[in-house]
Amino acid sequence: MAFFLLKKLASLAVTFLLITVVVFAVVKFAPGTPFSIYQASQEKAVAKMAPQDYEELLKKYDLDKPMVVQYRKWLTSLLSGSLGESFSERRPVAKVIGERLPPTLFLNFLTLLLMLVVSIPIGAISALKKDGAFDRISGGVLYGLYALPSFWVAVLMILLFGVTLKVLPFFGMHSDGADSFGPVRYALDMFYHALLPAFCMALGGLAFLSRFTRSTLLDAMHQDFVRTAKAKGVSGRRLFFGHVLRSALIPFVTLFGLILPEMVAGSVIIESIFSWPGLGQLYLKAVYTRDYPVIMAESVLGAFLVLVGSVATDLGYYAADPRTRRG
């Protein structure tokens, strides 16, 4: 187990280093500079800036140094635990991201909960009634929903539930004056604000997760140990929950390893449409303003979580399935 873990960690370190190179290169070699946006939209303000002040600004953020030197300083800072300072907010990037992380985690947790509550029962029933009416209709409906663009669905949900029916809020994370609410009312207010964006984010995953559940259950039903259990007289719920479902849970280890990065990264489109103050909205704002430290920090964070999810998946398989320990 120790050798297996050491090998995975070494692979993670090398891959992470290569990712930092790619992220740095993509951001730094993109057209424009962190200040070109102001030159385009606020020419008078930029014109008033003295040349020495402009040079001092470049020097402050090491933008006047060669790319190799910039990368070395950024990587050294990153490995030491510092993400730098945001150009647009003039605050540490870690603090900026830390403020946006809880809303993103809450929204994605609610999204995942909706996906599990809806798709797993649908997948289980579809597996038990393979090729039946429910299986065909649910598959067609879910794949039809999967084909709908999330931003288009978001606009329809806003028009229907927010503007026409006026039953759900669709802007921000809290109502005006929410700071004066009690704990229960405050939590419920945030929950109501998260319903529409969570539904739009969950929509695309319903078809995948339900079909994934269906296929894993069908595969488990045809395993030798299930046939052996049937031959011994095990049937009904005991067979399904004690043998079939237990075996089908192993592939879910991979699924949750892939879901982990998405839960933290957030949704750029949905968060922006609903003005949800999460990491997705922050990333889009950073791209518009060319806030290099925030862009690189979020990109590296997302990539790192993908690697962690991959290692966690491998370790989960290693612990759950003895066959993966051979060799």
Map out the domains of the chain with their CATH numbers. 36-82 (no CATH), 96-325 (1.10.3720.10)
Residue 39 has what pLDDT?
47
Share of the chain above pLDDT 90, in %: 34
Q: pTM for the whole thing?
A: 0.81
Is the per-residue pLDDT at 322 higher than 70?
no
Lowest pLDDT segment from 75-84, 223-232, 257-266: 257-266
The Cβ-side half-sphere exposure at 204, using a 13 Å CA radius, reads: 14
Q: Average of pLDDT values for 93-109? A: 92
What confidence tens digit (pLDDT) does each residue in 290-312 have?
889 999 999 998 888 888 877 77
| Cα–Cα distance for residue pair 92/80, rounded to 1 Å | 14
- What is the average pLDDT value for the chain, to the nearest integer? 82
Q: Cα separations (Å) of 179 from 87, 96, 102, 271?
A: 29, 21, 17, 22
| Cα–Cα distance for residue pair 319/183, rounded to 1 Å | 40
What confidence tens digit (pLDDT) does each residue in 14-61 have?
999 999 999 999 888 877 667 655 544 444 444 445 667 667 777 877
What confidence tens digit (pLDDT) does each residue in 245-270 have?
666 766 666 676 667 666 666 688 89
